[in-house]
A and B are shown apart, each in its own frame.
Chain A
Amino acid sequence: MTIKKDHKINTFMMQLREGARVRIKKKTSNGSVVYEGIVMPTVSRNIVIKLDNGYNVGIRPEHADVELISGAEPLKELVKDKGVKEVEEAGLPVLSILSTGGTIASKVDYRTGAVSPQFSTDDILEAIPELGQIANIRGKVLYSILSENMRAEYWTKLATEVHNELKSGAEGIIVTHGTDTMGYTAAALSFMLQTPAPIVLVGSQRSSDRPSSDAAMNAISAAKVACSDLAEVVVVMHGNTSDKFCLIHRGTKVRKMHTSARYAFQSVNDVPVGKVYYDASNIGNIKVEFLSAYKKKTRDANELELRAELEDKCTSIKYYPGADPAILDFFAEQGYKGIVLEGTGLGHVSTDWLTCVERVVKSGIPVVMTSQCLYGAVCDRVYNTGRDLLRAGIIEGRDMLPETALVKLMWVLGQTTDMDEVRNMMQQNIAGEISGGRTLQ
């Protein structure tokens, strides 16, 4: 099949299935040239083929003489969920890996260049065999979504699944998660679950299809923590740019503080729960060290409790100089049940906002004040504006991260609608989200 005239190109291009082998003859200003290779997916208007030497090249369809050599070979389809799989080895603890879409393992198809994330237990163990030396791994794929597409309702489902896994004998849980909203999910699980065992969220900042990916080290470290005597929801990610140690962050105190670097996750207003010293050559040498007090594992089945109800009609508003307070009325009219403010400094918004805040609070919508500073606690007793805000009825979010405060408010409103109780619960430390005191870091 050969085409020469431009107007036929479009119809032909449509027949150019990805994976088909083609020969393209092309006239150039200094002679003609022939390319042969496999048609690749592309978003550009050019034909992209993978040459036999492995390079992808783009060729403008104009004056290109395209000849089909052979049809598309079926591309290997994405590996689908194989469900829970149990490979028990005596003496090793049982861990459940619940996938939500963050990838800790990928396969690269060098023929097509396609990178496919791997979620099945077999595939994860194939990519990171060390996990099998640490524990008997069960795997389950809950979602395969980008973490920015997470929704509050998914937290409920995840918490329920974690609860089920722990009930059915898992001694620790690993949740693989995209890093963008991992902090929110960690906070949600922290409030929803009272756990007798470790629940560890883990992800990777550098994609798992690259040999330098942080995925394997984070996952191995997470598995070590999931086998420890910790009984909290934590995030385990790289400690700094070196592949030397991971940090264990409390789920309510952790925040993604860098867009791309390995060390993006940091504990804010708290020291990390602990540290995992990594050793690539000897898995047995990997050590978990705790840096601060933590809740310990128990054998008491009553310790496990799920309170997954949420009121997801909550929002957060970031204040900026000159921001219009009418935004509060807007959310109230839209039926929102709770609002978190990200104020300036110690927890301020303009005095223009006072009447609006007061009106909204009086209508039964709790307003929680947090700070854009992230570091340090909100204290509205220091300046007049703060005192006025307190009088208007805001709830001080103490040293809670704004994101944690929002998740907590959703959860609290899922537990009670009594305003006094909401106020009490918001100001009380439930899952480590409010620190007793802060130290120099």
Chain B
Amino acid sequence: MTPKTESKEVGLKAGLEIHQQLDTHTKLFCNCPTRLRDKKESNFSFIRYLRASKSEMGEVDAAALEEQKYSQTFLYKGYDSTCLVEYDEEPPGELNGEAIETALEVALLLKMKPLDEVHTMRKIVIDGSNTCGFQRTALVATDGVLQTEEGPVRVDSLCLEEDAAQKLEPEGDAVVYSLDRLGIPLVEVCTAPDIKSAEQASKVAGQLGMILRSTGKVKRGLGTIRQDINISIEKGARVEIKGVQNLRLIRQIVEKEINRQLKLIELKQILNRRGAWVEDRIENLSDIFVNTSSRVLKKADNNVFGVCLHGFTGILGTELQPDRRFGSELADCARKYGVGLMHTDELPAYGITEDEVERMRSAFDAGEHDCVVIVATGRERAEKALNAVLARAEEAMHGVPKETRRALPNGCSAYMRPLPGAARMYPETDVPPVEIETRKLTRIKAQLPETFEDRKARYKEKFNINEELADKISRNHYFTLFERIMKSYAGLSATLVVRTLTDTLAELVQEGVEVDNLGDQHFMILFEQLAANSFGKEAIPAILTLLANKPDTSIEQAIAEIGLGVGIEEVTRAIADIVNSKKDFILENGERSVGPLMGVVMNDLRGKVDGKVINKILVEQVKAVLDEL
């Protein structure tokens, strides 16, 4: 593997596409709830086929064609919470107004320019994930910008779309989809390819997520946000990696894709140097394996077909990503037709003998630099799979192919399909365009939520807290409570309040304390008493624990129960007692005696009064003793 490559040096250009489900009451084009269902609750199902619409030229778009290769049965599961619109048995209703409002809110937060009139389009998708064979999508705003530490990233477009049906486990030959998710409104935010490092990609995704959540109108939890990343490097090609569900993976995905593209560029050079070529001939090799001991080949009734990639020896075994070789890319292509492949780079193995490998080679007059790839299946399927393999090998001689890939959980990716063309869209004539009134925009603008960034900056400025704390509390849902506390009780340390609402609560959760029992009123009274010096800040965890266990306890009771609530006079008297008994020690050590004495005093008074107050009284009394002399 090449050493970890700096994104900037390879000319990285990356863009993000974020899909976020909205938490609207109803779906985008019907009145069904936007609620996901237990799949066992499905009360009926039906099957459908899809046919690609022909484009003007009589050609089917590359991506559509790829999908149409497989004559596919789709089985759809319906619920008592889905309707004829999801079944493609009734025209869609009008665009959901609530969803438009949220989309506009996000657009304005991203400093985008909303369109005057929003038109719903049909985007052809024939993988079955939409019952009608297209996804409805509408462009709502363009031309925004997101400021990042590494510079501005343009936000090209914001679309309002319907979510697709959810794919379930296949049943027999049928691809199965659940219709509960179909039609849930999504906003799709696309950035320009302005991202120049893996680190920046991760940050941009984080910031976009925060902005979406700041509206309070998006769904939360696994599967409610999905990100696609498109990546290209110099001399590489645009590759779109789809379906990243975990924000933390983004950095890795970008890094691993950079490496994959670099490696493919390297392979291209090697192949070109070798004068490699792809022979357009599929051979029936079944005779070689009549008596094979390979179980895989036997299982296919010894139906074996092969092709020869001249000059490819060693290439198929080259690792592009951890555990993914060039051979895996070829295998991805064959797998589209439901077959695995084997090649001479990894043979003899799997029960295939040296002799059989030799005969495979001689069927193509293959030399030592040539690689033979075989699949074991019937002729029709074998031809389709091997043609896909040949096409992919051909592409290797030109470098990185443009394609759509699927994100894998380890940050790698696998081939999915060619990049879709840009123009697979036509108007959804069943849905009238929606004019965006200036009045509406003005109203939304006036009510825009403060972004996390704005809030953070305000907190740093107003409460004089550091970056880390400002960041923590501005993202925390207690931020309004924080502001209320600071406004109500003078003299409190903002740092202490933030730490209490964030770190302290997190620690209590870890200790198993039911902090959900704590209401705003508990915190208000806690800080009121703290401001009045009724107890020391050290006692906060103990008081909160007690209140969480017995939410009906009054603060006075709590203080009493923990043995707190000592008045200043009492404290002064207690300190005086200790100072009097240690007079000799004080005279001996002068002002240096304060430190050791503090320990003694705190043993008695910890939590009852703020340590600072105790310290102040102690210093005064020690001084008094020394002054007496």
Contact = CB atoms under 8 A, between A and B. Distances in A.
Contacts of B48: 212, 242-243
Contacts of B342: none
Interface string A223-248: 00000000000000000111110000
A54 B113 contact: no
B119 A55 contact: yes
A108 interface: yes
Contacts of B137: 55
Interface in A278-293: 280-281
A58 B423 CA distance: 18
Interface in B111-166: 111, 113-119, 121-124, 126, 131-134, 137-139, 142-143, 157, 159
A63 to B, nearest CB: 10
B58 interface: yes
Contacts of B562: none
Contacts of A259: 90
A33 B114 CA distance: 10
Contacts of B435: 44, 46, 58
Question: Among B54, B84, B134, B445, which residue has the most Cβ atoms of chain A within 10 A?
Answer: B54
B143 A31 contact: yes
Most buried by A among B71, B90, B113: B113
A54 B422 contact: yes
A28 B111 CA distance: 11
Contacts of A31: 111, 113, 143
Given A44-B117, A107-B56, A262 B139 contact: no
Contacts of A26: 113, 116
Contacts of B71: 280-281
Interface stretch (B247-255, B425-433, B548-556): B425-433
Q: Which of A30, A51, A259 has most chain B Cβ within 10 Å?
A: A30
Contacts of A262: 89
Contacts of A57: 115-119, 139
A110 interface: yes
Contacts of A244: 47
A223 B122 CA distance: 30
Interface size class of B (residues with CB under 8 A): 35 or more
Interface string A17-50: 0000000001011110101000010001010100
Nearest to B54: A107
Nearest to B138: A55
A126 B121 CA distance: 25
Contacts of B131: 212
B122 A210 contact: yes
A52 interface: yes
Interface residues of A, number: 52
Given A55-B139, A280-B71, A46 B113 contact: no
Interface string B73-116: 10000000000100111110000000000000000100101111
A11 interface: no
B91 A58 contact: no
A211 B56 contact: no
A251 B252 CA distance: 65
A261 B89 contact: yes
Interface in B394-444: 422-427, 429, 433, 435, 438, 441-442
B423 A60 contact: no
A52 B425 CA distance: 11
A280 B49 contact: yes
A48 B119 contact: yes
A301 B117 CA distance: 62
B298 to A, nearest CB: 28
A115 B53 CA distance: 10
Contacts of A261: 84, 89-90
Given A260-B91, A280-B73, A210 B49 contact: no
B220 interface: no
Nearest to A41: B427
A109 B425 CA distance: 9
Given A110-B425, A213-B51, A217-B49, A58 B117 contact: yes
A212 B54 contact: no
A44 B433 contact: yes
A381 B116 CA distance: 66
Given A29-B441, A211-B132, A280-B73, A206 B51 contact: no
B119 A56 contact: yes
A40 B117 CA distance: 13
A123 to B, nearest CB: 9
B133 A54 contact: no
A390 interface: no
Given A51-B139, A216-B51, A115 B426 contact: yes
Nearest to B433: A58
B352 interface: no
A127 interface: yes
Nearest to A282: B71
A309 interface: no
Contacts of B124: 211
A61 to B, nearest CB: 9
B160 to A, nearest CB: 11
Contacts of A48: 117, 119, 433
Nearest to B44: A241
A93 B148 CA distance: 70
A54 B46 contact: no
A32 to B, nearest CB: 8
A58 B84 contact: no
A124 B624 CA distance: 108
Contact of A212 (B50, B111, B143, B438): B50
B424 A110 contact: yes
A211 B119 contact: no
A60 B115 CA distance: 9
B47 A211 contact: no
Contacts of B114: 28
A18 to B, nearest CB: 13
B32 interface: no
B55 interface: yes
A131 B49 CA distance: 17
Most buried by A among B61, B115, B124, B139: B115
A241 B89 contact: yes
B155 to A, nearest CB: 12
B133 A211 contact: yes
Contacts of B88: 206, 210, 212
Contacts of A212: 48, 50, 88, 131-133
A46 B121 contact: no
Given A211-B52, A211-B124, A261-B84, A243 B132 contact: no
Contacts of B108: 30
Nearest to B115: A57
Contact of B54 (A56, A58, A127): A127
20 contacts: A29-B438, A33-B113, A35-B142, A40-B427, A44-B435, A46-B117, A48-B119, A54-B121, A55-B137, A58-B116, A59-B115, A76-B56, A110-B426, A126-B54, A210-B88, A212-B50, A216-B51, A217-B49, A240-B46, A243-B49
7 pairs of A and B residues whose beta carbons are closest in the complex = A58-B117, A211-B133, A54-B425, A55-B139, A56-B119, A113-B426, A109-B56
Given A29-B445, A210-B122, A240-B46, 12 more contacts: A46-B116, A54-B121, A55-B425, A107-B55, A108-B55, A109-B426, A114-B426, A126-B54, A211-B126, A211-B133, A212-B50, A260-B89
Interface of A: 26, 28-31, 33, 35, 40, 44, 46, 48, 51-60, 76, 106-111, 113-115, 126-127, 206, 209-213, 216-217, 240-244, 259-262, 280-281
